[in-house]
């Protein structure tokens, strides 16, 4: 095959720097024994990687995902989050059935119905932390 250039690959991967990252990652995969998808023709691994990208035998998106995965040290597993809406509804329903004696008498303010003035009054009542000379 004729010599592969960056211009042959730039229409597949728009950013030249990303192209270099993807081709180098693919060249490392080839050197570690991964199957190549084009004829080698006595080419070195970086040239084979560029030819694979230019011929679109490998998806640049898949290469990018594989590169990102190989660089991650901690891989998060997508787990379904617990449904907080149902857990919030259930305590309110229980509080309607139960008497209101469980609430402290000195807290007459509910956060759901707090006005801006009440919030500012509460913030003004806070004491700032003491400054120490340890700095």
At 10-30, the pLDDT tens digits run: 888 888 999 999 999 999 999
Residue 2, classed as helix, strand or coil, is coil
How many Cβ atoms from other residues are within 10 Å of residue 82's Cβ?
A: 8
Chain centroid offset of residue 96 CA: 41
Q: Report whether 53 contacts 60 (CB < 8 A).
A: yes
The per-residue pLDDT for 23 is: 92
- pLDDT of residue 89 exceeding 60, the answer is no
30-34: long-range contacts at Cβ-Cβ below 8 A with a sequence spacing of 24 or more? none
CATH class of 6-71: alpha beta
- pLDDT of residue 111 exceeding 90, the answer is no
Q: What is the pTM of this model?
A: 0.51
The per-residue pLDDT for 75 is: 63
**What's the mean pLDDT when you consider all of the chain?**
77
Domain boundaries, the chain: 6-71
Q: How confident is the model at residue 81 (pLDDT cuts 50, 70, 90)?
A: confident
Q: How confident is the model at residue 125 (pLDDT cuts 50, 70, 90)?
A: confident
* Burial degree of 52 (CB within 10 A; 0-12, 13-18, 19+): buried
């Amino acid at each position: 095959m004729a010599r592969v250039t960056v211009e042959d690959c730039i229409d597949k991967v728009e950013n030249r720097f990303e192209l270099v990252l993807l081709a180098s990652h693919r060249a490392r995969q080839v050197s570690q024994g991964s199957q190549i998808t084009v004829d080698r023709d006595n080419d070195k691994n970086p040239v084979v990687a560029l030819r694979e990208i230019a011929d679109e035998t490998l998806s640049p998106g898949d290469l990018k995902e594989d590169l990102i995965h190989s660089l991650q040290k901690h891989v998060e597993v997508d787990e379904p989050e617990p449904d907080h809406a149902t857990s919030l509804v259930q305590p309110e329903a229980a509080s309607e059935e139960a008497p209101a004696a469980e609430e402290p008498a000195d807290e007459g303010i509910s956060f759901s119905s707090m006005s801006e003035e009440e919030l500012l009054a509460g913030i003004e009542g806070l004491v700032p932390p003491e400054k120490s000379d340890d700095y």
